[in-house]
């Protein structure tokens, strides 16, 4: 069963034949991917284990593809769940952000920066009403060696000012992204919006955003204060995950329980329902690619045994997984 299509990957639901356990198989075309980037992602995933982080179970490769066997997360994307709820409050948003903060705090404690936090990478573990949030997609994540990074990367709209300014940056970039996500969860539209990318980046670098009326009239001052601290232009003054987890909007009772479903969902549908990622996902769910061949594989960094691409033992191993129809 097809689950998701990214820029350079496709994800399928697969079943382990021996146990019947379900997994997500992330398939990446080698020609679109630098080996060092994938190696970085795998090294990061092998280091982490957290209740709110999608885990790596195994890894294989063929002549043309890499295959990551991942923990199956079947509850869908964050925005879709909000649209399906019927009732939605600040408290709901606070609970989501608390889980994201707990996951990212764990990453930062282990010297890992995600660098691409955005709503599409926040998934629900299953379809249960109280399902937990899972942070996914570590393709741009980085292990900190000296406390700062310099490579400009991320998704426009969620990336921190210091990244766009091409300055050395730290794990504080993740906190900025969480601030942007929080903003969207409370109003349904992004804090920075410009058709022209240059003007968009200029606004972000100036941290030029506002809490517009009437969309923010019913949102608590505590929520706005939280966002201001997360989206602080100066990264040295920006909230850390530890500070954010102590904020009253996260751990106290300042998040309102007033229903904001209608106003938020109207804006979500207007600003995100026809966005590129949503269109791609809808198209991908109807088309199964013809390049999914998981019987010609070998384990990561294992020498090839013949021209077919792997040993008989490894073919039997990967054959233990089947794509679920």
pLDDT per residue, tens digit, the chain (325 aa), is: 777 776 677 889 999 988 999 999 989 888 876 666 677 788 888 889 999 999 999 998 898 888 999 999 989 999 999 999 999 999 999 999 999 999 999 999 999 999 899 999 999 999 999 999 999 988 888 787 655 555 556 678 899 999 888 888 899 999 999 999 999 999 999 999 888 889 999 999 999 999 999 999 999 999 999 999 999 999 999 999 999 999 999 999 999 999 999 999 999 999 986 444 344 333 333 223 333 333 333 444 433 333 333 333 343 444 455 555 4
State whether 192 and 274 are in the same domain: yes
Q: How many C-beta atoms lie closer than 10 Å to residue 185's C-beta?
A: 24
Q: Cβ distance 305 to 317 under 8 Å?
A: no
Look at residue 324 and tell me if it is in a domain.
Answer: no
Residue 115's domain spans which residues?
Answer: 78-278
State whether 30 and 100 are in the same domain: no
Look at residue 325 and tell me if it is in a domain.
Answer: no
58 assigned to active site: no
State whether 221 and 92 are in the same domain: yes
Look at residue 255 and tell me if it is in a domain.
Answer: yes
Per-residue confidence (pLDDT) for residue 175, from 0 to 100: 98
State whether 117 and 227 are in the same domain: yes
State whether 151 and 237 are in the same domain: yes
Look at residue 28 and tell me if it is in a domain.
Answer: yes
Rounded (10°) angle between helices 90-109 and 172-187: 170
Number of domains comprising the chain: 2
State whether 39 and 116 are in the same domain: no
State whether 86 and 137 are in the same domain: yes
State whether 55 and 203 are in the same domain: no
- Measured over the CA atoms of residue 219, residue 220, residue 225 and residue 227, the dihedral's sign is negative
Q: Cβ distance 63 to 296 under 8 Å?
A: yes
Look at residue 129 and tell me if it is in a domain.
Answer: yes
Per-residue confidence (pLDDT) for residue 206, from 0 to 100: 96
State whether 51 and 15 are in the same domain: yes
Q: Residue 121's domain is classified under what CATH number? A: 1.10.510.10
State whether 132 and 24 are in the same domain: no
pTM of the full structure: 0.81
Look at residue 230 and tell me if it is in a domain.
Answer: yes
Q: Residue 299's domain is classified under what CATH number? A: 3.30.200.20
CB proximity list for 24: less than 8 A, separation 6 or greater: 3, 11, 12, 13, 14, 54, 69, 70, 71, 72, 73
Look at residue 271 and tell me if it is in a domain.
Answer: yes
State whether 247 and 168 are in the same domain: yes
State whether 144 and 197 are in the same domain: yes
Of the candidates 264, 176, 159, the residue with the CA atom closest to the CA atom of residue 214? 264
Look at residue 92 and tell me if it is in a domain.
Answer: yes
Of the candidates 121, 239, 127, 130, the residue with the CA atom closest to the CA atom of residue 176? 239
Per-residue confidence (pLDDT) for residue 295, from 0 to 100: 36
Cα of first residue to Cα of last residue in the chain, in angstroms, is 5
Indicate the burial class of 104 (C-beta count within 10 angstroms; 0-12, 13-18, 19 or more). Answer: buried
Judge if the upstream peptide bond of residue 27 is cis by omega within 30 degrees of 0: no
Residue among 51, 84, 92, 116 flagged as catalytic:
116
């Amino acid at each position: 069963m097809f689950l998701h299509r990214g820029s350079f990957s496709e994800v399928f639901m697969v079943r382990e034949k021996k146990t019947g356990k379900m997994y997500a198989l992330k398939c990446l075309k080698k020609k679109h991917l630098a080996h060092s980037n994938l190696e970085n992602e795998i090294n990061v995933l092998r280091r982490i284990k957290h209740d709110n982080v999608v885990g790596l179970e195994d890894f294989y490769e063929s002549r043309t593809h890499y295959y990551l066997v991942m923990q199956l997360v079947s509850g869908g994307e964050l925005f879709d769940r909000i649209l399906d709820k019927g009732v939605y409050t600040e408290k709901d948003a606070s609970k989501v952000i608390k889980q994201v903060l707990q996951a990212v705090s764990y990453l930062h404690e282990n010297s890992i920066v995600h660098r691409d936090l955005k709503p599409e990478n926040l998934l629900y573990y299953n379809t249960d009403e109280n399902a937990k949030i899972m942070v996914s997609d570590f393709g741009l994540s980085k292990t900190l060696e000296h406390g700062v990074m310099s490579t400009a990367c991320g998704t426009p709209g969620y990336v921190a000012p210091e990244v766009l300014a091409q300055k050395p940056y730290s794990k504080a970039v993740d906190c900025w992204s969480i601030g942007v996500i929080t903003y969207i969860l409370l109003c349904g539209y992004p804090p920075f919006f410009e058709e022209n990318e240059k003007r968009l980046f200029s606004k972000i670098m100036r941290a030029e955003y506002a809490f517009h009326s009437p969309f923010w009239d019913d949102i608590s001052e505590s929520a706005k204060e939280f966002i201001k601290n997360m989206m602080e232009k100066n990264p040295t003054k920006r909230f850390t995950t530890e500070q954010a987890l102590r904020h009253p909007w996260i751990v106290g009772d300042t998040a309102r329980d007033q229903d904001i479903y209608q106003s938020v969902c109207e804006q979500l549908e207007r600003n995100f329902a026809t966005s590129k990622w949503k269109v791609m996902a809808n198209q991908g769910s109807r088309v199964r690619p013809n390049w999914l061949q998981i019987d010609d594989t070998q384990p990561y960094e294992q020498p090839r045994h013949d021209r077919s691409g792997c040993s008989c033992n490894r073919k039997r191993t990967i054959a233990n997984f089947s794509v679920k129809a």
